[in-house]
C-alpha cells in the first residue's frame, strides 16, 4: 500500500546511522577536478591583439576556440579565463552528454513544435561530432555512448514513460525501449524501479574535467593563447582610429580584437541587456568510493547507462571509469540576490538528503562511503535551454542559459556564435529557437519569491501523483513551466 502524499524516498528511508557513516570524512571537492592534473596557463599581463577574443574557459569558450581555428587556422585567437580552465560548471557536472538542444523533447515541443524534428536532427549530429572529435583530435575524455535510462519510481511515472515510448514509436524511432518491472531491474537492480525507458542513441557519458582540459590542450596546439586568472572587468567598443574593434580589460592587461565571444554563462554578463537573463541555481552531488566486483554484481548496471528518474525534482546518477557512483540533483537551490559564492557549495542538508536517497535507491550498497561532495551553479533561463545573440554591431556574440543540459549543447552554441560573427545564414542561425530571446527574470525580491514558489509547487506535484497546481499550470500557459 502506497501512503498518499509520500514518495518512495520517504517510504523507504535508510537508517540514520547508514547515512552518517557514508558521509564521515567526505571531502568537499569536485571529484572530476581532483581526478586530473591541471596544467597552468599564464595570467594576461600587458596588451595583446586578436582576430577573436573569447571570455570564459568552460566548454562554450573552449569549443569556440577550437572550432574557430578549424574554420580559419590563421586566425589569432585569445581566450581569457577568470580562474582556471574548467573550474566551474564544466568541471563539476555529471558528465551526461545529451543530444537534446531544447532541454528535452517535451520542452522543445511546447516552444518550437514546427522545427522540433530539425532540432532533434541537429542535436544528434552535434553529439555524433563530439564523439568523432575524440578520435579526430586525439582527445581522451572517457566518452561512452551507452545511452540513458529514464526511471519511474512511482506508478504515475510509469504512465509517463509509456506515453514517451508510444510517441517515439509513432515517430519511427526504434532506438527507444520501454522496460517494465523485472526488465528494468535486470538492467540496474534497484527495488525502487517500476519501469525504465532506455534511450540508446541520444545520450553518452564523459569525464567532465578531462573534456575541458583536452579542449584546452588541442586549442593551444592549434595556436590559441589561453590566459588564466584574468577576469575581464569591462568590454568597450572602440571608436576613432580603432573603430570596428572591441577592447577587453583585465587587472593587468587587455585584449583588442576584431570580434569577441562571451561564454560567461552563469557569471554576470558584460552586456547590460543580459543582466536579468539568467540566474544561478545550485546543484549538489556526491561520489562514492569505487565499488567492489561483488557490489557491482549486486546492482548489475552492466551496460553502464546514465540514469535519471523522471520526477519534477529528479536525481541523476552514473558510473565513473573505476566504478564509483556519482549521485546528484534533486535539491536545486536559488539564493536571494542571484550571486555565485563559494560558501553556497557546502550545504550539509543537501548532501544528507542525497545520501538518504542514494541508499533508498541502492540499499544493497549499505556500508559504502562517499569520498567527494560538491556543488555547482547552473545558469538557468526562463526557457530552460540556451539562447544566443549578437551585440555591438555584430562584433560580439554570446550564448548562455543551458539550465543544466549544456555539455553537448555548448558545441552547438559555439558554432552558432561563429556563424553569427561571420555573418553566415546557416540552418543553425535560421532556427526560430536561435533567433528568439527568452523572457528575463524579474528583479529581486520578485525573482526569489517566484523561483522558490515554483520549487515548492514542483515538490508538491511530486507528492501528488505528478499533478500540477494552479501556479504550475499558469507558468505552463505562459511558457515558463518547468519540470526539474
Residue 379 has pLDDT above 50, yes or no: yes
How many Cα atoms within 13 Å fall on the side-chain side of residue 245?
A: 16
**Hey, what CATH topology would domain 38-143+203-277+382-441 get?**
FAD/NAD(P)-binding domain (3.50.50)
pLDDT in tens, 322-332: 999 999 999 88
* Whole-angstrom distance, CA of residue 265 vs CA of residue 58: 9
Residue 2 has pLDDT above 80, yes or no: no
Structural domain boundaries in the chain = 1-34+148-200+279-380, 38-143+203-277+382-441
**Hey, what CATH topology would domain 1-34+148-200+279-380 get?**
D-Amino Acid Oxidase; Chain A, domain 2 (3.30.9)
Residue 482 pLDDT = 54
Residue 1 has pLDDT above 50, yes or no: no
Residue 5 pLDDT = 76
pLDDT in tens, 418-438: 999 999 999 999 999 999 999
* Whole-angstrom distance, CA of residue 116 vs CA of residue 139: 31
The three grid cell numbers given for residue 121, joined into one nine-digit string = 536532427
Residue 239 pLDDT = 74
Does the CA dihedral 275-278-279-283 come out positive or negative?
A: negative
Amino acid at each position: 500500500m502506497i501512503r498518499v502524499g509520500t514518495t518512495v524516498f520517504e517510504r523507504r528511508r535508510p537508517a540514520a546511522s547508514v547515512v552518517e557513516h557514508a558521509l564521515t570524512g567526505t571531502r568537499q571537492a569536485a571529484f572530476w577536478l581532483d581526478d586530473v592534473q591541471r596544467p597552468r596557463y599564464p595570467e594576461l599581463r600587458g596588451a595583446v591583439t586578436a582576430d577573436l577574443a573569447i571570455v570564459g574557459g568552460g566548454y562554450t569558450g573552449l569549443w569556440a576556440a577550437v572550432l574557430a581555428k578549424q574554420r580559419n587556422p590563421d586566425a589569432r585567437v585569445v581566450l581569457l579565463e577568470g580562474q582556471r580552465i574548467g573550474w566551474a560548471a564544466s568541471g563539476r557536472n555529471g558528465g551526461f552528454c545529451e543530444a537534446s538542444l531544447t532541454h528535452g523533447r517535451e520542452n522543445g515541443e511546447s516552444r518550437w513544435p514546427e522545427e522540433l524534428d530539425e532540432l532533434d536532427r541537429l542535436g544528434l549530429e552535434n553529439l555524433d561530432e563530439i564523439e568523432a572529435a575524440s578520435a579526430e583530435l586525439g582527445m581522451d575524455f572517457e566518452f561512452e555512448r551507452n545511452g540513458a535510462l529514464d526511471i519511474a519510481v512511482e506508478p504515475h511515472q510509469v504512465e509517463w514513460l509509456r506515453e514517451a515510448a508510444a510517441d517515439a514509436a509513432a515517430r519511427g524511432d526504434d532506438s527507444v525501449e520501454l522496460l517494465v518491472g523485472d526488465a528494468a531491474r535486470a538492467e540496474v537492480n534497484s527495488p525502487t524501479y517500476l519501469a525504465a525507458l532506455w534511450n540508446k542513441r541520444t545520450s553518452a557519458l564523459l569525464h567532465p574535467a578531462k573534456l575541458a582540459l583536452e579542449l584546452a590542450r588541442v586549442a593551444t596546439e592549434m595556436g590559441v593563447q589561453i590566459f588564466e586568472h584574468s577576469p575581464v572587468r569591462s568590454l568597450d567598443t572602440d571608436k576613432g582610429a580603432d573603430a570596428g574593434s572591441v577592447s577587453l580589460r583585465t587587472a593587468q592587461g587587455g585584449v583588442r580584437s576584431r570580434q569577441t565571444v562571451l561564454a560567461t554563462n552563469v557569471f554576470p554578463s558584460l552586456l547590460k541587456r543580459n543582466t536579468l537573463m539568467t540566474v544561478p541555481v545550485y546543484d549538489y552531488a556526491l561520489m562514492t568510493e569505487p565499488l567492489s566486483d561483488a557490489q557491482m554484481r549486486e546492482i548489475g548496471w552492466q551496460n553502464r547507462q546514465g540514469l535519471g528518474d523522471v520526477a519534477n525534482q529528479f536525481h541523476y546518477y552514473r558510473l565513473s571509469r573505476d566504478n564509483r557512483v556519482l549521485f546528484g540533483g534533486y535539491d536545486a537551490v536559488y539564493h536571494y540576490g542571484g550571486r555565485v559564492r563559494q560558501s553556497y557549495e557546502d550545504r550539509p542538508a543537501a548532501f544528507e538528503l542525497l545520501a538518504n536517497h542514494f541508499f533508498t535507491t541502492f540499499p544493497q550498497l549499505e556500508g559504502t562511503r562517499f569520498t567527494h561532495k560538491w556543488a555547482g551553479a547552473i545558469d538557468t533561463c526562463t526557457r530552460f535551454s540556451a539562447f544566443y545573440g549578437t551585440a555591438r554591431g555584430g562584433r560580439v556574440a554570446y550564448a548562455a542559459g543551458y539550465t543544466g543540459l549544456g555539455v553537448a549543447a555548448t558545441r552547438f552554441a559555439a558554432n552558432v556564435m561563429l556563424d553569427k560573427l561571420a555573418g553566415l545564414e546557416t540552418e543553425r542561425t535560421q532556427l526560430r529557437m536561435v533567433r528568439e530571446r527568452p523572457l528575463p527574470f524579474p528583479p529581486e525580491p520578485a525573482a526569489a519569491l517566484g523561483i522558490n514558489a515554483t520549487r515548492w509547487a514542483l515538490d508538491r506535484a511530486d507528492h501528488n501523483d505528478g499533478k500540477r497546481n494552479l501556479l504550475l499550470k499558469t507558468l505552463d500557459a505562459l511558457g515558463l513551466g518547468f519540470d526539474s
